[in-house]
Chains A and B, each alone.
Chain A
Amino acid sequence: MKLSKYILWLLGAGLFVSCSDMNIPPMNIVGEDEIFGSKEGVTAYVARMYSTLPIEDFKYYHAAGGLFNYSGTAYKQQCCLTGEAIGRDTPGAEMENASFWDDPFKQIRAANMLLETLPKYETQFAATDYKTYLGEAYFCRAYIYYALVKRYGGVPLIDHVVDYPTSVDLEGTQVPRNSEEEIWDFIGEDLDKAYELLPESSQKGRINKYGAAAFKSRAMLHAGSIAKYNTVNEEYNGVRICGVPSAKAATYFKAAYDASLLVDGGSYSLYKDKWKAGDREAIAENFGTIFTQDTPETIFARYYSSPNAMHGFDDSAQPQQTSTGNNNSEINPTLDFVEMFDGIEKDADGHLKCFDDQGHYRLFTTPYEIFKDCEPRLEATVILPHSQFKGQTIDLHYGIWLGESAATMGPLLTEGENFSQNYTAKYPAATSNLRTTGGAADMTLPDGRVMGIAGASGVYNGWNFGGISGFYLRKYLNPTAGSNNTGSVSTQPWIEIRYAEVLLNRAEAAVELGTNLNDAFNCINQIRERAGADLLASQGDLNIDVVRKERRKELAFEGKTYWDLRRWRIIHLEQNNTKWRTLSQFYSYVDDKYFLDPKYQETRAYNYIYTFNQNGYYQQIPTNEITRNPNCKQNPGY
């Protein structure tokens, strides 16, 4: 009995003892000090900020929910919304999928979290590392706000971690939109801080101080254009959520100009290693190299790698002929785009000279002939008909003409017919002299020769693959002969900002301001010389249209033109019941030569008529955000 009492006491005493190691942090959760207390932790954190940055790169898809990092086949391309190109799957002036809201605010929160928490651990890091991380967070936050403001105008300005429910209640999370002006100013301030904090040079794919300055020149130029050209003035509770006072235009343009000068402190330059004066081939090769390898022109880029992070740009934009499978031919540059370039014979209206002075077709040994003296930059941007790509001649001809000599013949279609009809409506294959095809079928010519009715890349008819404009894109495509392009197999880096853009930003800001015009003149001529284009003769030739055209040529197919047309507020004028023009190439049997016919884009399953609605200048805020946040005012027109 007594023994059992002792045992009881002993057991009872056991209750007062515990393991001293019980109070340990949970092993399955990575804590704050592990992330922000070590170099590895912060690097991983920052890497995620970069990888989620809303860059309109190869994996941007305007029809996809969330818009960014789309992993499926990109049937629609942004450059088909600008008149740069047409694609069979882009039926008109589409707007972005209205779903971009939650992700950017998550990313802003991540940046704010770093900015608030890292100072607690400052002593753990070397001073330069510490400043770099902070600078990167400021840059990312500015970048995300730029992606928001260019779409929606003013958005809620969140510069701290909103800690619900600890510090604010539900109503405290329902933040109203700030004015558009405040957002632009905030972007400018963040980029200034990033410029102060960031180092002179950085690891590949990370931003440095010159990148921040380059980006500031872009953002401030955008802000200045809104101030100058926007006409929407939407106020809510006394806050101008859409539009910027026009008096601020000069301030922003000046900020853009000044920021562009800062970039010159770095070691960036226009790439000219392979450039040789007067050598068209060398100049074109030099220009193409910018997009296929790292050059001193790349300021900030997103890199891809095999096998984990790849994109499918080669798949989408590949010519029919060189496609190894899956998709192709989504980007077909328009004749309107090609006609912007120098060195091509044009008529009095500035159009490609396809007809002689009597109004008859001119004849060419190959369709390439008319482009043989063109500006080399065009050659490097576009695959011209019958030019070389991946070791093949890209044959884009549309059909075969079996009638009289084309040299005695006027246009196949009248102007009205050209806009409203396809060729086959007037020239049915059975009863006319024009042969076109829905596939790459061959025909036997009267002299016994066998020839493809359409070229191997020129399958125009029907709902089919092929070069529907008479041109293909070359910029950014992998030029290696025989390379695989089936699905997401490409790893070319996306150049988000390069030095040429900085020069163009500077020139545009200067011309908008009307000051430093000599500097602007030099910037434009540096770009033109490198491109092999005609130089500006004198400063008097410089005006805003010259600068804009140069920008559209130099930065074409780089995701910039769309936003340029929007900030200049001209896209609704350019796209107003508009059909883009293509170049049809026909082989004339009697002449044994080709003739070229400019043709409005033909109707397939769609009409391909582009009209940009003005309410698109301020996009729709996702409706679920309007429902959740009663203080968030929708943009006008939705």
Chain B
Amino acid sequence: MRELTFSTATREALTEEMERDPAVFVMGEGIGERGGNWGTTVGLFERFGPMRLRDTPIVERGFTGLCTGAALVGGRPVVDFMFLDFLLDGMGEIINQTAKLQYMSNGRLTMPIVFRGCIGVGHSAATHHSGNYYPMLAHVPGLRVVVPSSPYDAKGLLKTAIRSNDPVFFLEHKSVLGVKGQVPDDEYLIPFGEAAVVREGRDATVVAIGWMVHQTLKSCDELAKDGVSIEVIDPRTISPLDTDTMLASVKKTGRLLIVDEDYGPCSVGAEIAAQVTAKGFDDLDAPIMRINGAFTPVPYAPPLEAAVVPNPTSIALAIRDLLAE
């Protein structure tokens, strides 16, 4: 075991998969010699050369469609959007072609493509560089959506993503890139659709997504001083979504809060709440609660930016509120 940052762990996963399979290549803006805006490909250009680390012009629809075509004919592209917000320019290609071609070909074609990009609010990235978008993506049949929160999960899930024959979105919150954690020396993969219980507890269940896992764990440490015992679940993949783990936890605690930095309306939390209510109604001792980011474009000013997303204090309040139900 070693302690690695999230970024290092994903870079390690990408390197290993590129070594393992010559069909794997990366395409995006500034991912060649520059090594990627977020350091996702640092050192890989020297190692694998310009054929497998292809810098592109600023034309998302173009390289998204190009990589979709490459995946159809045996390539295993990793499209690096830098900020995930830029995905929006390639959205028509992704939803209408990438996500549907396997279905339309009756399974004769495969679509082994990974889209990765940074998500999330923070660091004064402002309106055009702070989106999360995973509810939108998880809404589309044919796409898989991964939102890891730890270096361990990031490495195991990225390797699974690259080996998957389905289109996968691998989304990295800006604030988790520097998070450190234990990563095994040996190779491992983490299957999709398996949530992680990151903290065990008995009084309430909190499902947290991405960076919110860390914020929630901080509030749980505070609450533990008052004897409040919270179980925290990280779904790790939004699509497929592992509600069985959530249901098992709710069966134990009777209470559920969903902590999500993204907007509340039509969110992942709404989906989780609906499924848990449908399947676990008789286990619920309180209404399912959600805490979300404010329903607003993300402001630039640091105090305003901080105010629109949940933080350990507001999460702790929400948990206390849930326990008072």
Check if A and B associate: no
B residues with a Cβ closer than 8 A to A are none
Give A contacts to B, CB under 8 Å: none
